[in-house]
A and B are shown apart, each in its own frame.
Chain A
Amino acid sequence: MDSILQILNDNPRLSNAEIAAMTGMTEDEVGERISYYEKEGIICGYKTVINWDKLEQTDKVTAIIELKVTPRKDTGFEAIAEEVMGFDEVESVSLMSGGYDFSVCVTGRTFQEIALFVAKRLAPLDSVTSTTTTFILKKYKEDGIVLSSQGDERGADVL
């Protein structure tokens, strides 16, 4: 894999000049590569991992919804996925193997808001045959980042 992708995956805040120094490329080369990846949809966006629980007044609740659907005759799962991801409340949609079809991650301000969203928007969709909603109580690790980090335990007095 291109080291630029690995570097950005670990820390998207690095500048092109810094990435150029790290990889031994020129700044222009780095810029061009990144533009290419963006254009091709290989880099789809840049996101910050925030531990919302650390903010005192968080009103952010997240739930994972297991969706069972009946695939449509012509468009299969694709059209249903498009319909589901159209909702602002939906953070992610994945087609799953196993006991259900879609895993949908939904955020809202309260448990009730999510429950209403599922009942009024998601469940009534034509192809949806059932939903199971599970709420996330605490996140420990997200996108490879440990949220409640232990800090650096390395002894500072060892030279």
Chain B
Amino acid sequence: MDYDSLLNRTALEIPPSGIRRFFDIAAEMEDVISLSVGEPDFLTPWHVRDVAIESLQKGRTGYSPNRGFTALCREICNYYSRRFSLNYDYKTDVVVTVGGSEAIDLAVRTLVNPGDEVLVPQPSFVCYDPIARLAGAKVIPIVTRREDEFRLTAETLRSCITDRTKLLILPFPNNPTGAVMRREHLEEIAKVLRGTNIMVLADEIYSELTYNGEPHVSIAAIDGMKERTVVVNGFSKSYAMTGWRLGYALGPAPVISIMTKVHQYAIMCAPTTSQHAAIEALRNGDEDIVKMRDEYDMRRRLIVRGFRELGLDCFEPEGAFYIFPSIQSTGMTSEEFCGRLLMKKHVAVVPGSAFGACGEGYIRVSYAYSTAHINEALRRIGQFLKEENI
């Protein structure tokens, strides 16, 4: 069979993840110290796991309604109201999905017609571009810059908008840069978008992980933005529940209703054991979030200091659990840097170029690791720089 001729063109043309090779090599090595993983090193809080176990023991193993259990939809809306002063109707404005990823896919597929332009600020999480392309969209990358602390600025946004712009992805707090958009920055973006027909997909999966003061502000909470925003969030990062695969989208009822229809045909409903667990997380998990955030914050400060001591320029991230130091002073490309660091010192970090072409010259370093682990990695990176005469 000539599979190439059979396969979907777009699916075929999407380039494979550029960092696969590194991970394959790293997986073979014995004493690799990795700072590459994009998930919490905490376990899901016990009381959350316990509720899931209990739901299994009681045999609550059937489907839920397509949009998710009503109790969960209600708790999600309570949570957004409590934490971000945003009021959504649990009966019409929320759909529970298989991770935040499915919510992103649903939102894009629901909003985009072939030929529409989707604006993707980069560096950013790797899924937006392929998902938008599979929906037939034309992806317009927007470069965010170190000198703007990797924020999306009104000026750059304005310069990328055309008659065909349908959707802006707003991925803050950002993976991989750790950048956040504060209220004043969002006001500027809102000024550009109000009065247009452009929708916003606000990926807020790291919303609980912001540091240095003010909690996260959702763009939907800015005047005139709720009606043009689909908010995506989930349980993976804030409650250390990555493997449970549970997320959700909040937005205007007419959009959520079509997203729910697509979800119904593609997925039926999100895993119900996870939904039971999520209800418990939202009801009784606020303290867990604070504990984990405080711990990440200390590691963040430790690792920023460490990289600066090594002489690498490092923007101070205020969100998520990554830092994005520049390696331009080494004269290496980010792939070269990561490849050599891995081969010579068995330390795994991710090249910035994996998150968009403008990530070149940077590396993504995760601090979802213990302080001892972080310091051992820093020690080896220090040795590496010395041996490379940098």
Chain A residues with a Cβ under 8 A of chain B:
3, 7, 10-11, 13-14, 17-18, 21-24, 152, 154-159
Contact = CB atoms under 8 A, between A and B. Distances in A.
A157 B302 contact: no
A22 B302 contact: yes
Contact of A158 (B37, B298, B301, B355): B37
Nearest to A24: B301
B37 A156 contact: yes
B17 A14 contact: no
Given A158-B39, A159-B17, 10 more contacts: A10-B371, A14-B371, A18-B302, A21-B301, A21-B302, A22-B299, A24-B301, A152-B37, A154-B37, A159-B38
B193 to A, nearest CB: 28
B289 interface: no
Interface in B229-259: 242
A7 B37 contact: no
Contacts of B375: 13-14, 18
Interface string B158-187: 000000000000000001000000000000
B348 A156 contact: yes
A156 B371 contact: no
Nearest to B355: A159
B376 to A, nearest CB: 10
A27 B36 CA distance: 30
Contact of B23 (A3, A10, A17, A156): A156
B290 to A, nearest CB: 13
Nearest to B242: A158
Interface centre among A17, A22, A152, A156 (most CB of B within 10 A): A156
A1 to B, nearest CB: 12
B175 to A, nearest CB: 8
Instruction: Sort A-B residue pairs by CB-CB distance and give the 8 closest, nearest first.
Output: A21-B305, A22-B298, A154-B37, A156-B23, A157-B23, A11-B371, A21-B301, A22-B301
